[in-house]
Amino acid sequence: MSPNDKAGDTSETEYGGEAATSGDSSPRTPTHTPTHTPTRARTSTPAVTTDVPARLDRLPWSRWHWMVVIGLGTVWILDGLEVTVVGNIAGRLSEEGSGLPISSAQVTGVAAALYVAGACLGALFFGRLTDLFGRKKLFLITLAVYLAATALTAVSFSSWWFFLFRFLTGFGIGGEYAAINSAIDELIPSAYRGRVDLVINGSFWLGAIGGSLLSIVMLDTSIFPMNVGWRLTFALGVVLGLVILLVRRNVPESPRWLFIHGRGDEADRLVTSIEQQITEEKGEHLPEPDGEITIHPRKSIGFLEIGRTVFSRYRRRAVLGLALFIGQAFLYNAITFGFGAILTSFFDVSTSHTGYFFAVMAAGNFLGPLLLGKLFDTVGRRIMISGTYLLSGVLLFATAWLFAAGHLTATTLTACWCVVLFFASAGASSAYLTVSEIFPMETRAMAIAFFYAVGTAAGGISGPLVFAELTESGVAADTALAFCIGATLMCLAGLTAAFLAVRAERRSLESIASPLSTTPTT
């Protein structure tokens, strides 16, 4: 290990000055009335000392935190709804009388690829802007882009129009991942950060369940005309997004972003307001914050410094992030990319019923982060990340063997997938958690954007190229091979996590990766 790796991975200190090489010990929790020192400027240097991070991390769970979760986190439900609905309505859009001259292959091929490309580019574009201009501005702008693009998709009259606004919908969603994950991690107390982040990212599958069931109703021509039902499906996404936007307007800027960018007094006033709300709700004094951090405010960080930070100073963590994202992307594509073809080819399941099987799989995906999320904060990141990756990979190997041997039915295969994805979903969600907390504050949104773009590209571009022929060939051995490829990469990612995962549980973000603007305290 090089000196830079060691500095990046184990030598960061708590802002109170205590060594923080492990997340195994619980943080101190004083019980007396807080007497915090507001953010203040040093007269001899341009440095600023603040206890804002400590004040945010020692807050108990409250209605204010629920507002943050609902305002920021529920957008993943819309993402799941979007992706699933488009896949399910592909056949209807290609039928004569749908009002759109497009083929099923164009919907699942060209439009899907454009959505993925938009998500990758949107993540990188908005990720950079999120670090420069703040979390709040960008999580409002990205949602607005998503809403406008979805609304215009609903009124598509030509294939080029549909393609354009699928790209822009993805562009907005990609930006959401960068802006939202960075804001959530900076607003949620360290004791709850893991479980909250996992459940929020896992809520994508609630949208997938809704999309599967909604498409069954919306595509029923006895209820809605052929050229109306699919448009109403997109319109419903717009309505839900508008409700989320109304809540999101009340979510504040990240106080951590504010003090890093020289707006320490504003950060202090904001945290004081949050503390007052929570004190009134709980009816008791808050514990005293433990520690301060001293920084030199900086308006922006250049791309060169971001690159050096992520890929030189923290290169072991960069390897970890790449392994986690690529592993989960290939496992999911091995299962979900051709699940419909597998059910219809091998088990004679009607295409009109595959949505029910997918809804069951989606339920297993959501239950994983929901039920296992707390363990990432208590048992710890390293054990849980490596464990969920390895276990899901091993279980998929077992599923591949049972499938190739002809021991499964449509129902039992779906049950196997549910068990695999129960663990895989918790692991995949922890990939987003990992890259959002192990890099410095100034690079956080850009780091999330980069690893999200890599994972999305691997899943949305490489995955279909690798798995398309295997899952649609009608040969059991080919499909089993697809499962084994996904399982192998998932297991390799799990082994990587076993050695490189950072023990970030119950630790402040600043102790996991010191801000680039930090100056040593005296």
What mean pLDDT do residues 146-171 have?
Answer: 91
Among residues 310, 319, 324, the alpha carbon closest in space to that of 431 is found at 324
- Say whether pLDDT at 139 is over 70: yes
How far is residue 476 CA from its own chain's centroid?
Answer: 33
Among residues 187, 255, 206, the alpha carbon closest in space to that of 75 is found at 206
Q: CB-based contacts of 280: which residues, under 8 Å, 6+ apart?
A: none
Q: Name the one residue in this structure whose structure tokens are 């292959």.
A: 105
Q: What is the pLDDT of residues 220-270, one digit of tens each?
A: 778 888 888 888 888 888 888 888 888 888 899 999 999 888 888 999 999
Query: Residue 40: phi, psi to the nearest 5?
Result: -140, 150
Give the model's pLDDT for residue 496: 98
- Residue 441 to residues 193, 301, 516, Cα–Cα distance (Å): 15, 11, 7
- Say whether pLDDT at 189 is over 90: yes
- Say whether pLDDT at 181 is over 60: yes
Give the model's pLDDT for residue 185: 92
Q: What is the pLDDT of residues 278-319, one digit of tens each?
A: 999 999 899 998 888 888 887 777 778 888 888 899 999 999
**Fold observed for domain 52-281:** Growth Hormone; Chain: A; (1.20.1250)
Higher pLDDT, 466 or 373: 373
Among residues 87, 93, 89, 84, the alpha carbon closest in space to that of 359 is found at 84
Q: What is the pLDDT of residues 34-48, one digit of tens each?
A: 444 444 433 344 778
Domains 52-281 and 301-508 share a fold: yes
Q: What is the pLDDT of residues 433-486, one digit of tens each?
A: 999 999 998 889 889 999 988 887 877 677 766 776 777 667 899 889 989 999
Give the model's pLDDT for residue 475: 86
- Say whether pLDDT at 98 is over 70: yes
Kindly state the percentage of the chain with pLDDT values over 70: 87
What mean pLDDT do residues 122-126 have?
Answer: 92
User: How does the average pLDDT of the chain come out, rounded?
Assistant: 84
Among residues 464, 421, 472, 470, the alpha carbon closest in space to that of 209 is found at 421
CATH superfamily of this structure's domain 301-508: MFS general substrate transporter like domains (1.20.1250.20)
Give the model's pLDDT for residue 177: 84
Angle between helices 229-248 and 204-218 in degrees, nearest 10: 150
CA–CA separation, 242 and 75 (whole Å): 11
Give the model's pLDDT for residue 352: 66
What mean pLDDT do residues 49-60 have?
Answer: 93
pLDDT grade for 31, boundaries at 50, 70 and 90: very low
Q: Domain segments of the chain: what residues? A: 52-281, 301-508
Full-model pTM: 0.84
- Say whether pLDDT at 215 is over 60: yes
Among residues 329, 493, 490, 298, the alpha carbon closest in space to that of 400 is found at 490
